[in-house]
Structure 1
Amino acid sequence: MKRLLPRLLMTPAVASLLLWMLVPLGMTIYFSVIRFNLLNPEESGFAGLENYEFFVTDPSFWPAVTNTIWLLGSVILITVVLGVLIALLTNEPFPGRGLVRILLISPFFVMPTVNALLWKHMMMNPIYGVLAQVWQFFGAAPVDWLTDFPLFSIIIIVAWQWLPFATLIFMTSLQSMDREQLEAARMDGANFFQQFRYLYLPHLGRSVAVVVMIELIFLLSVFAEIYTTTAGGPGDASTNVAFLIFQQALLNFDAGVASAGALFAVVLANIAAIFMIRLVGKNLDK
């Protein structure tokens, strides 16, 4: 009875969690195998794998997958490299370090839509944006970033918001470093690059793995920044998998194909998560 009581008390929470997860997943699977286009309600019935085939053979599918990979890889690389450097710069005590750290992590609390609007109108606008003013100051022609370099612009916008997260994780990790070991290395004549290679990097290995895993999972669903700035264009230049699903669901009104795309995204996210969890596990075992 003593063993049964805790399980009975946990049953409502576990059942609610399972319903919260399984019901939407089951409905998505159901809609992915039927014909359900709101523009053609008379067409219905079992579709089998037609929705999956339509989604995969969409001309925008492979550009979306490629853009998603570029977005993931670039943002993770930028946030990890710059995050480590910023964390090292703010690791040593200096006047106002607490205020600087607060300012460094503050962009992470900006909502994605607000972040995109700030960059679209305040920074990257080719007429009155900050970057346009800088270009004109040096006598160069302003660049229409969101038109000429759409995917690169999205990468910069997303990286700016996720950089504080990586920096915060790395700053926290550096606080637990063995100061005596660092002092011993300095007394033995080790320069900064040697300390970085043999002390800082091994210590930050677990933190890097955690940052990469979390960002990889969340960046697969980047949507607000693309919708607010480029709307996936020009053409498919900045369309990712999440935005392609949105196009099928709310622009083409095809819930069946959108559900098939959503399941594809779920599978992709789970593959990435399993890979990263194993990588993190190996780092934790060291």
Structure 2
Amino acid sequence: MATQHSRAAARFMIAPAVLLLLGWMIVPLSMTLYFSFLRYNLLMPGMEEWTGFTNYRYFLTDPAFLNAIWNTLALVGGVLIITVIGGVLLALLLDQPFFGQGIVRILVIAPFFVMPKVNALVWKNMFMNPVNGLFGHLAKFLGMEPFDFLAQAPLASIIGIVSWQWLPFATLILLTALQSLDQEQLEAAEMDGAPWIARFIHIMLPHLSRAITVVILIQTIFLLSIFAEILVTTNGGPGSATTNLTFLVYVQSLLQFDVGGGSAGGVVAIILANIVAFFLMRMIGKNLDA
């Protein structure tokens, strides 16, 4: 009886937070779904008209849609490759004892706490600017022509900017997993004459597989909605070279004032993100059960 009362009290106490969270999610989602079936342009107030699935048809057949899908996949895939490989290497490095280890760990994790817009502006103006940026001055010092990263390699530049911010997160998760590895296994393998690369492939990497899966899952969910870095660096350009799905929805909704089309794009983005999250959750579930 006491247990039932405790559970009832717990549900009662958590109910306001759950209801607030549901309202916070359901109300905007319901409005987006409703607007996606309307011809709703901000430049024509009072001219709203029910159009059914017309907005979806126009959005899905827009030539910019496939390009945005490709840019989204390239951005997510590029950042995941860099952060997972870089995170493993940094975790292995930080796991070794050396002088000032605590300070170095703090410095490595620090970029994750920088706001995305600030992060992008710092890279755009202080590093990648071909005239006043650090890389431009370094190229001139070496007698080379400065490279305009955001104009000549815009998508790769954004991948690098986002990777720099997410690398500490991957490093922290992987370092924590690495430190939970039983050192007796490594010592036994070393005593048997196994080289370091064999110990890494057959002992360390399998142990890190679950942590890598978690990193991929969490980062993918956030990377599908990357926006601030694109807005303050390339504004989706040159042309549509860096326009991902999230930025395309922004363009249609707030730059072209087509709320109906932008809402349809938002619904499509939500559906695609949930499909990706579903398969990732299945993957992480199988990995954790293994």
Question: What's the TM-score once normalised by structure 1's chain length?
Answer: 0.97
Q: Report the Cα offset of residue 4 of structure 1.
A: 5.0
Unaligned runs of at least 5 residues, structure 2: none
Residue type of the alignment partner of 1:194: A
Q: Report the Cα offset of residue 9 of structure 1.
A: 4.1
Q: Which residue does 2:159 correspond to in 1?
A: 155
Report matched runs for 1:53-202 at 5 Å. Answer: 53-202=57-206
Q: Residues 39 and 128 (structure 1 numbering): CA distance in 2 closer, same or farther, change over 3 Å?
A: same
* 1:227-263 Cα deviation digits (max 9, x unpaired): 0000000100011011111101110111111111111
Separation of aligned partners in 2, 1:109 and 1:7? 34
* 1:190-239 Cα deviation digits (max 9, x unpaired): 11100110011000000000000001000011000000000000100011
- Whether 1:204 and 2:215 are equivalent positions in the alignment is no
Separation of aligned partners in 2, 1:164 and 1:33? 42
SS of match in other structure, 1:60: helix
Q: Report the Cα offset of residue 138 of structure 1.
A: 2.1
Q: Which residue does 1:18 correspond to in 2?
A: 22
- For structure 1, which segment, 10-19 or 184-193, has the greater mean C-alpha deviation from structure 2 after superposition? 10-19
Q: Which residue does 1:231 correspond to in 2?
A: 235
Residue type of the alignment partner of 2:27: V
Residue type of the alignment partner of 2:203: L
Q: Which residue does 1:284 correspond to in 2?
A: 288
Among 33, 43, 48, which residue is 2:47 paired with? 43
- Whether 1:244 and 2:245 are equivalent positions in the alignment is no
* 1:41-85 Cα deviation digits (max 9, x unpaired): 243221101111121122211111100000000000000001101
- Whether 1:267 and 2:274 are equivalent positions in the alignment is no
* 1:10-57 Cα deviation digits (max 9, x unpaired): 433332222222111111110110111011224322110111112112
Separation of aligned partners in 2, 1:42 and 1:171? 57
Q: Residues 5 and 42 (structure 1 numbering): CA distance in 2 closer, same or farther, change over 3 Å?
A: closer
- Whether 1:216 and 2:229 are equivalent positions in the alignment is no
SS of match in other structure, 2:250: helix
Separation of aligned partners in 2, 1:64 and 1:20? 28
- For structure 1, which segment, 227-236 or 137-146, has the greater mean C-alpha deviation from structure 2 after superposition? 137-146
Q: Which residue does 2:34 correspond to in 1?
A: 30
RMSD across aligned positions (CA): 1.3
Residue type of the alignment partner of 2:217: M
| Identical-pair percentage | 56
Residue type of the alignment partner of 1:38: L
Residue type of the alignment partner of 2:232: T
Separation of aligned partners in 1, 2:97 and 2:190? 17
Separation of aligned partners in 1, 2:168 and 2:15? 38
Separation of aligned partners in 2, 1:64 and 1:229? 17
- For structure 1, which segment, 9-18 or 237-246, has the greater mean C-alpha deviation from structure 2 after superposition? 9-18
- For structure 1, which segment, 33-42 or 184-193, has the greater mean C-alpha deviation from structure 2 after superposition? 33-42
- For structure 1, which segment, 57-66 or 270-279, has the greater mean C-alpha deviation from structure 2 after superposition? 57-66
Residue type of the alignment partner of 1:265: A
**Structure 1 runs of 4+ with >6 Å offset:** none
